[in-house]
């Protein structure tokens, strides 16, 4: 069943098609906004749509807003309830992406953070697979360096920062790769254009620490917990050199859009002989079981919305 996407704008729910902002909106002109991406995953067998880790996404949104000196004027519980209502009203029975944003909403000129009004908006849209997570992907090291915390903090999910990500993604695409791996300013591995990165080495997961200019991903935290609790694998957060990726056992990326995506090749070097690694495959399966509400021990991560509630407005 197809739906009609809804949006929350200026304190009201409305069809996305009617949700408009003015040309002079500060955030549109200067990128002064912070956002989240939350997935709702459709479990066709159960006929239930599961929102994933909504509370954690809103907690990160609040922190991102704080960095840009904006206030998220709703509690986590209110935000979760609004998200459930928005998704239910939209009526889709398929995978969705929910996009909350705290943005400088005033129509005013002048580059600054102070003395500009801000507001919250949320919308949703159907969203399928982002990368080929069944086949695995080919990556290149980007010539674009990850923005540095001393220039723009990337631990806040700031809209304007994503020019950095878009430059890397498009360069990778035009050069025939699926995704870019970005190094930070001191030349160490940071992350993908919209994903965190992990190596698997001798049965241990290794991923860059939060101070290496990464967005501290919610999927990253999910995978670290699943690896430890379900597979007995520890994760070490440490700085990673580019060439370590070439010779490690397995490499994969994690993200709300990318889920758990195995990497088969980096800079023309095959990883794990060019096949999907065992640990990557196991984590991918566990992750899908978790996001589709199949693991009772992780039911606190998901918010189920049964088909009966996905009625459209
Ligand atoms: N890094 C960047 C730059 C991202 O945009 C994302 C996607 N939000 C991630 C990592 C992964 O974060 P999460 O798992 O919370 O989606």
The CATH number of residue 85's host domain is 3.30.470.10
157 as an active site residue: the answer is: yes
Domain-located, residue 123: yes
Percent residues over pLDDT 70 in the chain: 100
Domain-located, residue 186: yes
What's the total number of domains in the chain? 2
Domain-located, residue 291: no
Domain check: are 164 and 233 in the same one?
yes
37 Cβ below 6 A of ligand 1: yes
Q: How far, rounded to the nearest angstrom, does the alpha carbon of residue 312 sit from its chain's CA centroid?
A: 26
Reply yes or no on whether the pLDDT at 304 is more than 60: yes
First to last CA, the chain: 14
Instruction: Tell me the three state secondary structure of residue 300.
Output: helix
Domain check: are 151 and 115 in the same one?
no
Domain check: are 198 and 221 in the same one?
yes
**Ligand 1 midpoint to CA 109 (Å):** 30
What pLDDT, on a 0 to 100 scale, did the predictor assign at position 84? 97
Quick check: 43 and 49 in contact, CB under 8 A?
A: yes
Reply yes or no on whether the pLDDT at 199 is more than 70: yes
Structural domain span for residue 256: 137-276
Reply yes or no on whether the pLDDT at 175 is more than 80: yes
What are the backbone angles phi and psi of residue 137, rounded to the nearest 5°? -130, 165
What pLDDT, on a 0 to 100 scale, did the predictor assign at position 2? 80
Domain check: are 208 and 229 in the same one?
yes
Mutate to test the pocket of ligand 1, among 219, 224, 259 (most ligand atoms within 8 A of CB): 219
Question: Closest ligand 1 atom, CA of 219?
Answer: 14
Domain check: are 93 and 159 in the same one?
no
CA atoms within 13 A on the CB side of 32: 25
Taking the complete model, does pTM exceed 0.85, yes or no?
yes
Domain CATH for 228: 3.20.10.10
Domain check: are 153 and 258 in the same one?
yes
Reply yes or no on whether the pLDDT at 49 is more than 90: yes
What pLDDT, on a 0 to 100 scale, did the predictor assign at position 128? 86
What pLDDT, on a 0 to 100 scale, did the predictor assign at position 102? 98
H helical segments located in 100-217: 162-174
Q: How far, rounded to the nearest angstrom, does the alpha carbon of residue 195 sit from its chain's CA centroid?
A: 7
Q: pLDDT class for 313, splitting at 50, 70, 90?
A: confident
Question: Closest ligand 1 atom, CA of 221?
Answer: 14
For 36-147, where are the E strands, in sequence order?
Answer: 38-43, 48-52, 96-104, 118-126, 137-141
> What angle (nearest 5°) sits at the alpha carbon of residue 84, between those of residues 132 and 95?
20
Domain-located, residue 233: yes
Distance between CA atoms of 83 and 178, rounded to whole angstroms?
A: 31
Helical pair 218-231 and 278-291, crossing angle rounded to 10 deg:
110
Domain-located, residue 269: yes
Question: Closest ligand 1 atom, CA of 36?
Answer: 8
Domain check: are 145 and 78 in the same one?
no
Domain-located, residue 288: no
Does 1 or 286 have the greater pLDDT score?
Answer: 286
Q: pLDDT class for 1, splitting at 50, 70, 90?
A: low
Distance between CA atoms of 39 and 302, rounded to whole angstroms?
A: 10
Distance between CA atoms of 86 and 123, rounded to whole angstroms?
A: 8
Residue range 221-259, pLDDT digits in tens: 999 999 999 999 999 999 999 999 999 999 999 999 999
Domain check: are 90 and 165 in the same one?
no
Domain check: are 262 and 305 in the same one?
no
Task: Read off the pLDDT of each residue in 36-56 and give the average, rounded to a whole number.
Answer: 97
Task: Read off the pLDDT of each residue in 202-214 and give the average, rounded to a whole number.
Answer: 97
Residue range 139-161, pLDDT digits in tens: 999 999 999 999 999 999 999 99
Chain mean pLDDT for the chain: 97
91 Cβ below 6 A of ligand 1: no
Percent residues over pLDDT 90 in the chain: 96
Quick check: 220 and 254 in contact, CB under 8 A?
A: yes
Domain check: are 203 and 258 in the same one?
yes
H helical segments located in 47-205: 54-67, 76-90, 162-174
The total number of residues shown for the chain amounts to: 313
Domain check: are 121 and 145 in the same one?
no
Domain-located, residue 292: no
> What angle (nearest 5°) sits at the alpha carbon of residue 56, between those of residues 55 and 61?
95
What pLDDT, on a 0 to 100 scale, did the predictor assign at position 247? 98
Domain check: are 193 and 122 in the same one?
no
Domain-located, residue 282: no
């Amino acid at each position: 069943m197809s739906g009609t996407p809804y949006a929350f704008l200026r304190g009201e729910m409305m069809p996305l098609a009617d949700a408009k902002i003015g040309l002079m909106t500060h955030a549109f002109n200067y990128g002064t906004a912070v956002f989240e991406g939350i997935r709702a995953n459709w479990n066709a067998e159960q006929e239930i749509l599961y929102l994933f880790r909504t509370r954690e996404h809103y907690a990160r949104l609040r922190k991102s807003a704080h960095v840009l000196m904006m206030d998220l004027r709703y509690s986590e519980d209110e935000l979760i309830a609004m998200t459930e209502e928005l998704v239910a009203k939209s009526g889709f029975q398929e995978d969705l992406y929910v996009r909350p944003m705290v943005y400088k909403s005033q129509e005013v000129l002048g580059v600054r953070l102070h003395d500009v009004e801000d507001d919250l908006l949320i919308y949703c849209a159907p969203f399928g697979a982002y990368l080929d997570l069944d086949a695995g992907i080919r990556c290149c090291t980007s010539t674009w360096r990850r923005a540095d915390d001393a220039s723009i903090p990337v631990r806040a999910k700031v809209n304007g920062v994503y020019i950095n990500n878009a430059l890397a993604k498009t360069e990778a695409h035009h050069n025939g790769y699926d995704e870019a791996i970005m190094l930070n300013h001191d030349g160490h591995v940071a992350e993908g254009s919209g994903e965190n990165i992990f190596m698997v080495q001798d049965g241990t997961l290794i991923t860059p620490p939060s101070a290496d200019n990464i967005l501290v991903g919610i999927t990253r935290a999910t995978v670290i917990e699943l690896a430890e609790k379900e597979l007995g694998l520890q994760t070490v957060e440490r700085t990673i050199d580019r060439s370590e990726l070439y010779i490690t056992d397995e490499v994969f990326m994690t993200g709300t859009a990318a889920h758990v995506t195995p990497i088969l090749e980096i800079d023309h070097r095959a990883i794990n002989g060019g096949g999907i690694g065992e640990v990557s495959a196991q984590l991918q399966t566990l992750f899908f079981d978790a996001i589709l509400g199949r693991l009772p021990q992780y039911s606190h991560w998901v918010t189920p919305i049964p088909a009966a509630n996905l009625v459209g407005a």
